[in-house]
Amino acid sequence: MFLLGTSEPDWLRRTNVPLFISRRRLQRLRTLYEARGPWVLDSGGFTELHQFGEWRLTADEYGKRVKRYADEIGGMLWAAPQDWMCEPSALAMSGRTVAEHQQLTVNNFVQLRDILGPLVVPVLQGWHRDDYLRCVDLYDRAGINLNQEPTIGLGSVCRRNADSDISAIIAALQPLSLHAFGVKGDAYVANVDRLKSADSMAWSFTARYSPPLPGHPHRRCHHCLEYALRWRTRLLERAAVPRLFAMP
């Protein structure tokens, strides 16, 4: 499954394609929309850590918000935990190490699993390939068997420039059922057969530096549903090609 990342919560009522939406966007709404299709809740951790260097919401507070969104919006497939990204910029803001961010991620997941049950999924964090393998071990020590988890988030990959690094990490974590957070188009196409799912908002960046679609009144299409859907269709067509050639 490929989830279309968006900063526009009203798309929940405008399309039935799978969406990926941040908690930070939903919390601005007084009245929530009813979803037409499936969607996933992003915790907004990247912005949280880069703005404040820590999580300001407790696990109980976050859990209550997730429950409300699941009940009132409907269609939620799962929610990300309050994970701690391991990009160098996130470490610089928190003043902590990769190992500390990984342990905090696992600790939070254990708390949220008690609150939300299977609605929340575990997330693997790290920076180098072996970091992610050590994160797997942390879950095992916490009593979480990742081989039995239907979805496992793969964090700290969306802002990498080297697709080969992403591919090496994904390969090392097989056969876990991975969801790649914010993976770019080329990396998604290269790894589509080794991922359970992925999300991306790369369409918005492309649209920001491109002319609008013919007939569109806005100067840019970086908040445009039609542009996003066309981009998603092209990406899925690209991703289908390797699998077609691989068929006997």
Stated as kind and residue range, the H or E segment containing 153 is strand 152-154
CATH of residue 235's domain is 3.20.20.105
Encode pLDDT of 190-234 as tens digits. 999 999 999 999 999 888 889 999 999 999 999 999 999 999 999
The two tokens of residue 71 are 């009940």
At 129 the pLDDT is: 95
DSSP string, 98-136: HHHHHHHHHHHHHHHHHHHGGGB--EE--SSHHHHHHHH
CA-CA distance, 62 to 23, in Å (whole number)? 9
CA-CA distance, 108 to 83, in Å (whole number)? 7
Q: Under a CB-based contact definition with an 8 Å cutoff, are residues 1 and 196 in contact?
A: yes
Encode pLDDT of 115-132 as tens digits. 999 999 999 999 999 999
Domain count, the chain: 1
Range of the domain at 113: 2-246
For the whole model, what pTM was predicted?
A: 0.93
CA-CA distance, 50 to 186, in Å (whole number)? 26
242, pLDDT greater than 60:
no
185, pLDDT greater than 90:
no
